[in-house]
A and B are shown apart, each in its own frame.
Chain A
Amino acid sequence: MSYLLLVPILAPLVAAGLAALLGWRRLTAYVTLAAAFAVLLSGAILVHRVESGAVFAVGHLLRADSLTVTMLLVMGTVGTLATWASVGYIDAELRDGHTDRAGAHLYAVLLPLFLAAMALAVVANNIGVMWVAIEATTVATAFLVGHRRTRAAFEAAWKYVVICSVGIALALLGTVLLYFVSLHAGASSAHALDIDTLLNNAAQLDPDVTRLAAGLLLLGYGAKAGLVPFHTWLADAHSQAPAPVSALMSGVLLSVAFASLLRVKSVVDLTLGTGFLRAGLLVVGLLTVLIAASLLVVQTDFKRMLAYSSMENMGLVAIAAAAGTKLAIAALLLHVLAHGIGKSLVFLAAGQLQAAHDSTAISAVTGVLTRSRLVGVAFAVGLAVLIGLPPFAMFASELSIARALAGANLGWVLGATLLLLTIAFASLVRNGSRMLLGPPQPDAPTIALPGTVAAAMVTGIILSLALGLSAGPLTALFQSAATQLGASS
């Protein structure tokens, strides 16, 4: 059973190996889909095993607790939708001449490698290995972002690699400092960076150096999670990447990076108390929501609009983590899952709109609902999820986060956040309704919809509705994750 922890890493690696040998084919595309589904399945099987505490595998190299399983579920769900849609998406790109066989081959290899790196990041027990995995996602996705090989795509890829690598380098420095204090707290060099060792020794860590390390880790993993001050790569990369990759980056990568931050927080809070990272997360979270909301107001490009909506949501997640109560952490995890599925829907729809119009300008696209029922509905449902309309799950998660903020005596934060969320809400509704309902232009192109993209969209819509109506057994999982992360009640 402990070998179950290897599945999320090995399944995508096998798919990547096969794709390296055979190139972009139906077979390799579906093996990648099966690998993503295997990630989801292993997460689902692990749900009950981790309730009573973390399980280990391969000596002490891998570790899974409820947070790990939550992230595997997010990764498996969004990964399944994205790899499914990739089949039709890449075929269409090949047909339209936006990519060639070599480009599709590279895509086929890098997409599963990206999944494997994210899986390693959440199941690693050693926070040094976790860092290596997170940086590996940057390397794996660089050429996915630059997939279209246009000037803008290379520019986005360059900025992405440079800004994320620098940001994440700060997290490495923080990790080195944690290793230093862990050694001084008496840990052996082989286990000094293990999450379980750090949690056990947290009270003995030197507070001054830990404070320095925590600040660096917040900035570093924050860079990868799209938080201020290293957020500037996000809109460029998300808008230039192919739609399924945008869905994975926005829906999974940002939250995997944030999960790393939650791991670090669970250790640092035991050493320094909750005050230090609370202050840091509040500043970073509020600034991120502020910047995202301001840029949403002036946005004229629909893929960038979706990217800034991701930033807005990650800022909100950071604010929820700052509140830090069980209610807040459980709500944050539900928020992350719902956001992942909702973002997949809007990005997949946006990909089809971009392909039809050869443009990502909001002004170029109108009347989507009357022109393609399914693309329109997918975009509408995804947008409704993201702005937190009932019955979708982000309505419940945002309500819980608001209650948690009020309960943690952070009323002023709640007020500021609500104001900014309202601004973002208004912009998304204004642009979304224009695109969906505006009068269609007489010469508007037809919106093509490959079968696999349609299938992924229908699945995403059903999942969004189901998650909104009842989180079911997931509620227990999220609460267990919050308890295991040491959240106060």
Chain B
Amino acid sequence: MSLATYTGVLDLTAGAFLLAAVLIVWRRELRSIVHLLAWQGVALAAIPLTEGLYEGNPGPVIVGLVVLVLRAGVLPVLLLRAVGTADAERRESTPLVNTTSSLLITAALTMLAYAVTRPIIALDQAAATRAVPAAFAVILIALFVMVSRRRALSQAVGFLMLDNGITATAFLITGGVPLIVELGASMDVLFAVFVLGLLTGHMRRAFGGTDLDQLRELRD
């Protein structure tokens, strides 16, 4: 793979990664949000795969395959199983911020990501590092999704998107954190999603829904 191809593929991947986040902000159907999250997982896995193939190094390729199975397979399936069967459950309820404003905020957050990541790019001019604003934008968009969505499942999606953004940052600027940390972090995320899935099920049985507006028993 030539340098130009490598850079091109990497930029395309980072673009697709960010695009998936923007589409998640745009869409309201819970099922399609989860599908988009799976596509984002594919784009995420493509980063170490591309790096591994370019450098002829099997390590990142293996990590990429593990990420592909986990982020594009296991985690979205876990989430899909948590999506309620009742029709009313399948859509995000009335959002706190309407779609137009959400997309404008997303654009602003993407610009903010470019500003925040300037010291990182100043330290390292590599092609991969220059794509890091896309990963930071996804992190900021994920935080926005978490504060503006009212369904338990959308929040879980926001959390996974946040984690995708952090993992992408690690791949882009350092070629991935040491294996022991990567494995530990993946296990933690898997368990956290598992716990959230179980809690969603319990809450649905206890309250008959997963609208977080109903979570108002505990407050001061």
Contact = CB atoms under 8 A, between A and B. Distances in A.
A173 B166 contact: yes
A152 B181 contact: no
A155 B179 CA distance: 35
A61 to B, nearest CB: 8
B170 to A, nearest CB: 5
A152 B123 contact: no
Contact of B202 (A132, A149, A161, A162): A149
Contacts of B159: 162, 165-166, 169
Contacts of B143: 166
Interface in B194-220: 195-196, 198-199, 202-203, 206-207, 215, 217-218, 220
B178 A152 contact: no
Contacts of A239: 218
Contacts of B162: 166, 169
Contacts of B108: none
Given A126-B178, A128-B177, A169-B162, A152 B119 contact: no
B155 A177 contact: no
Given A176-B173, A183-B174, A193 B206 contact: no
Given A129-B181, A129-B184, A152 B217 contact: yes
A155 B217 contact: yes
Interface residues of B, number: 41
Contacts, number: 136
Contact of B166 (A169, A206, A299): A169
B218 A146 contact: no
A172 interface: yes
B152 A151 contact: no
Contacts of B203: 154-155, 158
A175 B59 CA distance: 21
A240 to B, nearest CB: 7
B180 A126 contact: yes
B116 interface: yes
A177 B166 CA distance: 10
A180 B173 contact: yes
B30 interface: no
A161 B196 contact: yes
B192 A128 contact: no
A463 interface: no
Interface stretch (A23-31, A136-144, A249-257): A136-144
A142 B177 contact: no
Interface in A194-234: 206, 208-209, 211-212
Interface residues of A, number: 54
B202 to A, nearest CB: 5
B119 A176 contact: no
Given A151-B207, A209-B119, A240-B218, A135 B180 contact: no
B202 A146 contact: yes
Given A184-B124, A212-B119, A193 B218 contact: no
Contacts of A126: 178, 180-181
Contacts of A175: 177, 181
A304 B215 CA distance: 17
B185 interface: yes
A324 B177 CA distance: 31
Interface string B137-152: 0010001001000001
B3 interface: no
A129 B217 contact: no
Given A142-B195, A169-B162, A135 B220 contact: no
A142 B199 contact: yes
A162 B207 contact: no
Nearest to B175: A189
A235 interface: yes
A157 interface: yes
B178 A176 contact: no
B146 A166 contact: yes
Given A128-B181, A189-B178, A212-B119, A172 B220 contact: no
B188 interface: yes
B177 A179 contact: yes
B178 A161 contact: no
Contact of A161 (B119, B177, B195): B195
A149 B196 CA distance: 14
A209 B123 contact: yes
Interface string A266-282: 00000000000000000
A156 B215 CA distance: 9
Smallest CB-CB A-B distances: 7 pairs: A132-B184, A128-B181, A208-B119, A135-B188, A139-B191, A236-B218, A176-B170
Given A136-B191, A161-B196, A208-B119, 6 more contacts: A149-B202, A162-B159, A169-B163, A179-B178, A209-B123, A295-B220
8 contacts: A126-B181, A128-B181, A132-B185, A135-B185, A136-B191, A152-B218, A158-B196, A172-B185
